[in-house]
Chains A and B, each alone.
Chain A
Amino acid sequence: MTTTGTPTSTGTKLIRKDFLSSIDPRWCAGCGCYGVFKAITSVFPTMDVPREKFAIISGIGCSSRFPYYSNTYGFHTIHGRAPTVAMGLKLARPDLSVWVVTGDGDGLSIGGNHFIHLMRRNPDIKVILFNNQIYGLTKGQASPTTAVGTKTKTTPYGSNDIPMQPLAMAIASGATFAARAHDSDNELLTEVMTAAARHKGVAFVEVMMNCVIFNDGAIESITSKTTRAENTIRLRQGEPIMFGNDANKGIRMGKDHRPEIVQMGQMAGGPSKSGLMVHDVTAFDSSAAYMLSLLSSPTAFGVFRQVNVPSYEQHYEVSVDPDVDKLLRSGTTWTTGEDGQSRPVESSKQS
């Protein structure tokens, strides 16, 4: 298979290599973008969608170089606006698999408004947000997700801004699918991307990742093999929410209606899981998903919400061959004959 385009809708089985363009990915050595790129391009061939039906839309930033490396249709648009282009494309072409690749600066700062509206409208578009908590392409300024106190070129005394919570924002905006992964767990990434790809409706995935150049180590407590178990929760549908070395801790709703961590041995009645929160992605009420998305220590990963409602583009159905001549002649019209006399035309309903 060449990268310049052999028709692929012929039923041949696609493999990941089919989705690699002739341009080798060029991010900094050690950048988290590589892992995400690999996971997404591995999921594409499993989707049973012909290659030409994929369209990847990006904005501006390190993450937004993604389309150039993928041998699909791609559009590298302008800063923050990828969701708008994706929306128009999906409405015009509901047959396509449309993916938005964005970052924390692109998607949440300059593009924050579009992000909210894309989520609330629920088009069948996948939105992957590469969150490295920094502006990388402009060489190291604080982004909307930069942690308080972080020293960057624009915050030399430490950032004062309260970081935005992308997942909570997506859920609050009505995202029907919301998930979180990080760049150091390929299995998690693949699982989440696969679930996003199969969701019919808007699918939001936050990928927490490391920027080796400008924000190195920002998520190390999450990704490090030695601390990962203590600091992360892996959400699984239908299972009690547990974490920690030996899965010895769980999350339950406290009496003050806030989540609290419990040591398994200290549960009333012994080491039972019965008092723990049980994860349910299908709950239409998004309160629990919202709450889990805000946990920071530990931080939850996996799919938070996955509910099925009709996707936005389904509301737009255009009839095949409407009669424009009839439309132009709708309302009050009259004809003038060869004799110069005017006569009313019985107004007809528009077709």
Chain B
Amino acid sequence: MSHKEKVTEVKSSSAGRSQKEVEELDQIVIRFAGDSGDGMQLTGDQFTTASAMMGDDVATLPDYPSEIRAPAGTIFGVSGFQLRFGGSEVFTPGDTIDVLVAMNPAALKTNLPSLKDQGIIILNEDAFTPRNLEKAGYTSNPLEGNELQKFKIFRANIGKLTQNALTGSTLSPKQVDLCKNFWALGLTYWLFNRSMEPTTRWLKKRFQSKPEILDANLKVLQSGFDFGETAEMFTTTYAIRKHETKRPGTYRYVTGNTAAALGLIAASKRAGLKLFVGSYPITPATDILHELAKHKQFATIYQAEDEIAAVGSAIGASFGGALAATTTSGPGLSLKSEFLGLACMVELPLVIIDVQRGGPSTGLPTKTEQSDLFQALWGRHGECPLVVLAASSPRDCFDITVEASRIALKYMTPVIVLSDGYLGNGAEVWRIPGMKDLPEFKTMLHTNVEGFKPYLRDETTLARPWAVPGTPGLEHRIGGLEKEDISGNVSHHPGNHQKMVELRAEKVARVAQEIPSMVSYGDPKAEVLVLGWGSTAGVIKEAVHALCEKGLPIACAHLRHLNPLPKDLKPFLKKYPKVLIPENNMGQLWYRLRAEYLMDFEKLNKVQGQPFRADEIEAKIMSMLGGRR
């Protein structure tokens, strides 16, 4: 969208834009930071929508304080929302930031270390009072020292300017103050040549019945925009250089947790089954439950008394013929272990979504980690293999959940989906699929009385028949005791147990026939292959992309299936002289692949509650290239 077109959309009081230079950039990372009560999440959300609707690619990451209501003005209470927007594919929300919008000293202090040299700071000067500086732990005012010299600083009395914009308004001073985030939003819209239209549209809908609040927010938004235009502060505005245009289609932007919830609903619809989700609140998975709870006409959503009851209810619903799922995080997955053994034994379809967080124990509930892989693969007593998949991006949480449901139903097996806090809370632009575009689900419910045996298996998948209560003539009993092959009667026979253990393992192994061949990105003759799984997909691709741009022989590949592994993974890995496996754990995939393939790999491990930065991966790759470049 060109500069001039944009101006005509703005109900600017000024006649048009003044002659300021427009600088075109490929990508920009902006972070809105303020107190928890400053509305930073909403501000970021609006900026994201506006950018995405201009056809930019966008990835976002909120950063909430872990306290629900941390003391105002303190560094503990800082709430941030980071987004990266660009004219070509955006792989991650970005490592370092180009633009920081800081609504108070604490927000400045907390986020300054992430800001690039020569980065832009837009700050709310009103908030830099002695009291706020003290609360943020500043002994002197940073605006008066040298600390900020290497940045481009734009100071505005956002609080006062908001009040001025609302002179004569009937709103209380407190309500007026709550509007100041929209002033900052208006200014950033001007600075980055965004259209205000999506936000004005949203405001009109949101405050339909509250005209005073609608009017105030519109005025404040406009005031921020006009400030950029008229203040002599800015000599340059920025625009995004378009490299790619989006495929035609309908888009929204979506978080991983919302995508997972929608994936379950879509899968149940596609399967023609009722959806049952039994869950217990746990950070960072709870938003899946929140999203589902809004859609009771699509699903039976049950908040159980604990994690165990949650999975138990899902297994009960699965016994009854529903597509059943439970959503949780690491500690909850631990509690569910015994029930997962039962689900393995009775061979019922079940989807378990684990949005991983830092562990062990309560660990870092709001921070991301990939350390539940071992637990997902092996964390049960007995020989208890389950299918394990992992989402690679927020929008992939939709696809992977549909895939998990399809496999669970086709193979009559529990499937664990690993997501994590970074994917669950992160968001990106999503081209919304049509129901008809989703993979086909066969009808699975068994009704034929002739020759029915509860453990008589399908030849291809080894799935047992799913005969649900209410089906005349198929009354039978299942349970946790070992089953006799075919008949499903209780059996303690030694040979039978061995056979059943092997059959259950073979059934899970056969899921490999569903997995597409490995594909790589980057240099086909790479000396180093970077192999990832889960949420590292974006940052690995970004690092590899950057090195390939420099002409280095690097490639990457990504696993969405962790058990079973793709059939061609071993020969695929053998093609590369060196393989690097970066993980946000201490080397769990690395360990699994070494054990499975008797091959050696390099590893890179980060367990800081934070995702990798691209430069960390690049540095490791460079060291593997032996410094000869």
Which A residues have a C-beta under 8 Å from some C-beta of B?
A: 5-9, 21, 23, 50-55, 57-58, 60, 67-68, 71-78, 81, 83-93, 95-96, 113-114, 116-117, 316, 318-319, 322, 324-325, 327-329, 331-338, 340-342, 344-345, 347, 350-351
**Complex interface: chain B residues within 8 A of A350 (CB):** 294-295
Q: Can you list 8 A-B contacts with CB-CB less than 8 angstroms, sorted by A residue number?
A: A7-B473, A83-B309, A88-B317, A114-B312, A318-B297, A335-B250, A336-B249, A351-B297
**Complex interface: chain A residues within 8 A of B468 (CB):** 73, 93
Contact A5 B449 (CB under 8 A): yes
Count CB-based A-B contacts (< 8 Å): 231
Contact A76 B49 (CB under 8 A): no
Q: Does B475 contact A (CB under 8 A)?
A: yes
The answer, among A55, A88, A327, for a CB contact under 8 Å with B315, is A88
Given A93-B322, A325-B434, A336-B246, 8 extra CB contacts under 8 A: A57-B316, A73-B477, A81-B309, A84-B313, A85-B316, A86-B316, A89-B469, A93-B469
Contact A5 B452 (CB under 8 A): yes
Contact A93 B490 (CB under 8 A): no
Q: Does B495 contact A (CB under 8 A)?
A: no
> In the bound complex, how far is the Cα of B274 from the Cα of A134, in angstroms?
41
Contact B338 A92 (CB under 8 A): no
Contact A81 B432 (CB under 8 A): no
**Complex interface: chain A residues within 8 A of B251 (CB):** 333-336, 342
Contact B449 A113 (CB under 8 A): no
Q: Does B324 contact A (CB under 8 A)?
A: yes
> In the bound complex, how far is the Cα of B265 from the Cα of A318, in angstroms?
12
Nearest CB of chain B from residue A328's CB, rounded to whole Å: 5
Contact A335 B249 (CB under 8 A): yes
**Complex interface: chain B residues within 8 A of A329 (CB):** 250, 252, 432
Q: Of the listed stretches B13-21, B52-60, B129-137, name the one at the interface; the rest are far from the partner chain.
A: B52-60
Q: Does B174 contact A (CB under 8 A)?
A: no
On chain B, which size bracket covers the interface? Answer: 35 or more
The chain A residue sitting closest to B481, CB to CB, is: A76
**Complex interface: chain A residues within 8 A of B164 (CB):** none
Residue from A7, A327, A347 having most chain B Cβ neighbours under 10 A:
A327
The chain B residue sitting closest to A347, CB to CB, is: B205
Contact B339 A81 (CB under 8 A): yes
* Residues 251-266 of B at the A interface (beta carbon under 8 Å): 251-253, 262, 265-266
Contact B308 A81 (CB under 8 A): yes
Annotate B417-441 by CB proximity to A: 1 below 8 A, 0 otherwise. Answer: 0000000000000001111000000
The chain A residue sitting closest to B449, CB to CB, is: A5
Contact B304 A84 (CB under 8 A): yes
Nearest CB of chain B from residue A56's CB, rounded to whole Å: 8
**Complex interface: chain B residues within 8 A of A338 (CB):** 248
Residue from B298, B321, B434 having most chain A Cβ neighbours under 10 A:
B298
Q: A93-B470, A340-B245 are in contact. Are A333 and B306 (CB under 8 A)?
A: no
Q: A318-B298, A324-B435 are in contact. Are A21 and B477 (CB under 8 A)?
A: yes
Contact B309 A89 (CB under 8 A): no
Contact B265 A324 (CB under 8 A): yes
The chain B residue sitting closest to A57, CB to CB, is: B316
Residue from A23, A335, A351 having most chain B Cβ neighbours under 10 A:
A335
**Complex interface: chain B residues within 8 A of A9 (CB):** 472
Residue from A67, A71, A93 having most chain B Cβ neighbours under 10 A:
A93
**Complex interface: chain B residues within 8 A of A72 (CB):** 475
Q: A67-B479, A73-B475 are in contact. Are A328 and B309 (CB under 8 A)?
A: no
**Complex interface: chain A residues within 8 A of B469 (CB):** 52-55, 73, 89, 93, 96
> In the bound complex, how far is the Cα of B298 from the Cα of A131, in angstroms?
41
> In the bound complex, how far is the Cα of B54 from the Cα of A51, in angstroms?
61
The chain B residue sitting closest to A80, CB to CB, is: B308
> In the bound complex, how far is the Cα of B55 from the Cα of A57, in angstroms?
54
**Complex interface: chain B residues within 8 A of A322 (CB):** 269, 297-298
Q: Does B444 contact A (CB under 8 A)?
A: no
Nearest CB of chain B from residue A278's CB, rounded to whole Å: 36
Contact B198 A332 (CB under 8 A): yes
Q: A336-B251, A342-B251 are in contact. Are A91 and B339 (CB under 8 A)?
A: no
**Complex interface: chain A residues within 8 A of B476 (CB):** 5, 73-74
Nearest CB of chain B from residue A50's CB, rounded to whole Å: 7
> In the bound complex, how far is the Cα of B265 from the Cα of A325, in angstroms?
10
Nearest CB of chain A from residue B454's CB, rounded to whole Å: 11
> In the bound complex, how far is the Cα of B202 from the Cα of A142, in angstroms?
63
The answer, among B249, B252, B276, B299, for a CB contact under 8 Å with A332, is B252
Annotate B437-480 by CB proximity to A: 1 below 8 A, 0 otherwise. Answer: 00000000000010010000000000000001111111111111
Q: Name the prevailing secondary structure of the B interface residues.
A: mixed
> In the bound complex, how far is the Cα of B192 from the Cα of A195, in angstroms?
72
The chain A residue sitting closest to B49, CB to CB, is: A332
The chain B residue sitting closest to A345, CB to CB, is: B250
**Complex interface: chain A residues within 8 A of B321 (CB):** 92-93
Q: Name the prevailing secondary structure of the A interface residues.
A: mixed
Q: Does B550 contact A (CB under 8 A)?
A: no
> In the bound complex, how far is the Cα of B346 from the Cα of A120, in angstroms?
29
Annotate B200-222 by CB proximity to A: 1 below 8 A, 0 otherwise. Answer: 01100100000000000000000
Residue from B250, B306, B314, B479 having most chain A Cβ neighbours under 10 A:
B479
> In the bound complex, how far is the Cα of B253 from the Cα of A329, in angstroms?
11
> In the bound complex, how far is the Cα of B296 from the Cα of A351, in angstroms?
11
> In the bound complex, how far is the Cα of B346 from the Cα of A78, in angstroms?
12
> In the bound complex, how far is the Cα of B54 from the Cα of A118, in angstroms?
51
Q: Does B237 contact A (CB under 8 A)?
A: no
**Complex interface: chain A residues within 8 A of B202 (CB):** 332
Contact B252 A333 (CB under 8 A): yes
**Complex interface: chain A residues within 8 A of B224 (CB):** none
Q: Does B278 contact A (CB under 8 A)?
A: yes
Contact A88 B316 (CB under 8 A): yes
**Complex interface: chain A residues within 8 A of B283 (CB):** none
Nearest CB of chain A from residue B113's CB, rounded to whole Å: 33
Contact A334 B265 (CB under 8 A): no
Nearest CB of chain A from residue B453's CB, rounded to whole Å: 10
Q: Does B553 contact A (CB under 8 A)?
A: no
**Complex interface: chain A residues within 8 A of B471 (CB):** 52
Q: Does B552 contact A (CB under 8 A)?
A: no
Q: Does B305 contact A (CB under 8 A)?
A: yes
Annotate B120-156 by CB proximity to A: 1 below 8 A, 0 otherwise. Answer: 0000000000000000000000000000000000000
* Residues 537-560 of B at the A interface (beta carbon under 8 Å): none
**Complex interface: chain A residues within 8 A of B201 (CB):** 344
Nearest CB of chain A from residue B599's CB, rounded to whole Å: 39
Which 9 interchain pairs have the tightest Cβ spacing?
A76-B479, A84-B312, A88-B316, A88-B313, A340-B245, A85-B316, A92-B317, A7-B472, A89-B316
Q: Does B342 contact A (CB under 8 A)?
A: yes
Nearest CB of chain A from residue B350's CB, rounded to whole Å: 11
Contact B53 A334 (CB under 8 A): yes
Contact B302 A91 (CB under 8 A): yes
Contact A75 B252 (CB under 8 A): no
Contact A84 B308 (CB under 8 A): yes
**Complex interface: chain A residues within 8 A of B322 (CB):** 92-93
> In the bound complex, how far is the Cα of B342 from the Cα of A328, in angstroms?
34
> In the bound complex, how far is the Cα of B54 from the Cα of A340, in angstroms?
10
Q: A77-B342, A334-B53, A340-B245 are in contact. Are A88 and B314 (CB under 8 A)?
A: yes
**Complex interface: chain B residues within 8 A of A52 (CB):** 469-475
Contact A91 B313 (CB under 8 A): yes
Q: A84-B309, A87-B309, A327-B265 are in contact. Are A5 and B248 (CB under 8 A)?
A: no
Q: Does B247 contact A (CB under 8 A)?
A: yes
Q: Does B183 contact A (CB under 8 A)?
A: no
The chain B residue sitting closest to A19, CB to CB, is: B475
Q: Does B320 contact A (CB under 8 A)?
A: yes
> In the bound complex, how far is the Cα of B244 from the Cα of A138, in angstroms?
68
> In the bound complex, how far is the Cα of B474 from the Cα of A5, in angstroms?
6
The answer, among A68, A316, A327, A331, for a CB contact under 8 Å with B300, is A316
Nearest CB of chain B from residue A21's CB, rounded to whole Å: 7
Contact A327 B472 (CB under 8 A): no
The chain B residue sitting closest to A114, CB to CB, is: B309
> In the bound complex, how far is the Cα of B474 from the Cα of A73, in angstroms?
8
Contact B250 A85 (CB under 8 A): no
The chain A residue sitting closest to B54, CB to CB, is: A342
